[in-house]
Amino acid sequence: MHRRRPAVFLDRDGVINRTDVVAGVPHPPRSVAECEVLPGVPEAMATLAAEGLPLFVVTNQPDVARGTQTAVAVEAINEFLRSRLPIDAIYVCYHDAADRCDCRKPQPGMLVRAAEEHHLDLPGSFMVGDRSGDVLAGAAAGCRTFLVDLPYSKGDRCSPDARVADLPEAARQIVDIVRRRKASS
């Protein structure tokens, strides 16, 4: 029996890589050529990994279901990110809201699946996202939640455990929490 361990779940677009915001709505990169890792993200992820926290990306990619993006392009972007960042696994939901699947955030399906496959302690884990769906999925899975407060997330109605400017700020807070837990155990 494996001992369950805490992890960090990360939304992809807007948390790890830059989005293209059009009329207040963020859009993912269309290709690897458009994929730009945000400043401070490699260092933040390295810090989390050095703390012994596995890193899982959980990302909705509904443009595939809508026919405006291909799964091949999404997977190429994911591989590009995995080749440059300490990501343990990437979970993708290709459905649109009308599909009513259990994997599309705000449902916790991707987090639950990762927890089952990698023996993770969800109540000890963290979810970092830039939309209410990320926060709601993390909360539904029992994780502590962080909302990266971007202009397009200002109107999101959710109650994260913390609002942060970016992944580096979330990583600093997560490391503090993990170290306090270790000191008190």
Active site residues: 11, 13
Q: Which residue has the tokens 């972007």?
A: 77
Q: Residue 79: which residues within 8 A CB-CB, separation 6 or more?
A: none
Q: Residue 157: which residues within 8 A CB-CB, separation 6 or more?
A: 132
The span from the CA of 56 to the CA of 90, in Å, is 6
Exposed / middle / buried, residue 74 (Cβ in 10 Å: 0-12, 13-18, 19+): buried
CA 120-41-76 angle, to 5 degrees, is: 80
